[in-house]
Amino acid sequence: MTQSSSSIDRHLQALRDVLEVLYRLRRECPWDRKQTWASLRPYTIEELYELVEALANEDRAAVREELGDVLMHIVFYARIAEEQGWFDLADVAHSLKEKLIRRHPHIFGDTSVKDADEVARNWEQIKTKEKKAGGVLAGVPAALPSIVKAFRLQEKAAGVGFDWPEMPPVIEKVEEELAELKTSIQQKDPSAIEEEVGDLLFSVINLARKLGVDPDGALERTNRKFIRRFEQIEAHARQAGRALDQMGLEEMDRIWEDSKKKP
């Protein structure tokens, strides 16, 4: 037996154990028995965010645990569907396998690609053909967080060639949107200001995409940095026995700058 097949057998046994536990819970536990797709949805969203947080923290133990929670939800949804006679976990796995084969013709077919970018473009083009109904952007969920949605819209458009091939015009677009925002501010037009802020954010997200940077992850790192530095200001205020609103901006800014020197 090869190391690869041995590993697969181990994984299959673990999944079999999970299925047996979940099926028993579904039969015997009052809470698990009454769950539906609709009732599980908010818990699934929560688990996904907990996984994302664990990934951001690079906490391996937490990632392992949260992946287990997400897997449990996948098995749970499939079990409910099986009980209703709609489909089962095997159908889910078969559909995934077929999709992966279809969308990797450079591995399972005779298509040639030169790099990962071309693989991504092929994936989007194949996906668009498969969907038939709707356009290139139809597959982007409406409920996605705005930053993630903007990134995915841009990726999909780029997948069919709607993209600047070079970096300079991407940067120029950011500068153009910033200039338009400044004009709107000078004109004191609230509606135009909101629109131009959106355009500026969209162009910055596009710049991040072109640079190979995850804008959501980059912003989250900045959020954490802001929290860490602002907590230094709060700590200073507590040590001095003062309220934050008793500190002037100059003093706060000095502490902020000092915090930037700390690792």
Q: Which of 46, 69, 93 is the last residue of a domain?
A: 93
Does 20 map to a domain?
Answer: yes
Amino acid at 164: W
Q: Which of 93, 126, 151 is the last residue of a domain?
A: 93
pTM, entire model: 0.67
Q: Which of 45, 70, 93 is the last residue of a domain?
A: 93
Count of domains for the chain:
2
Across residues 181-207, what is the average pLDDT?
96
Q: For 206-235, write each residue's pLDDT tens digit.
A: 999 999 999 998 998 899 899 989 998 898
Does 28 map to a domain?
Answer: yes
Which whole-number Å values give the CA distances from 255 to 69, 99, 122, 245, 251, in the listed order?
Answer: 41, 54, 51, 15, 6
Does 130 map to a domain?
Answer: no
Does 79 map to a domain?
Answer: yes
Does 167 map to a domain?
Answer: no
Does 75 map to a domain?
Answer: yes
Q: For 30-63, write each residue's pLDDT tens digit.
A: 999 999 999 999 899 999 999 988 998 899 999 9
Does 53 map to a domain?
Answer: yes
The 3-class SS string of 16-62 reads HHHHHHHHHHHHHCHHHHHCCHHHHHHHHHHHHHHHHHHHHCCCHHH
Torsion of CA 149, 152, 153, 156, to 10 degrees: -160
Owning domain of residue 239: 217-260
Does 134 map to a domain?
Answer: no
Domain at 48, CATH number: 1.10.287.1080
What integer pLDDT is reported at residue 1 of this predicted model?
Answer: 43
Q: For 79-129, write each residue's pLDDT tens digit.
A: 999 999 999 999 999 999 999 999 999 999 999 988 988 898 888 788 877
Of the chain, the end-to-end C-alpha distance in Å amounts to 50
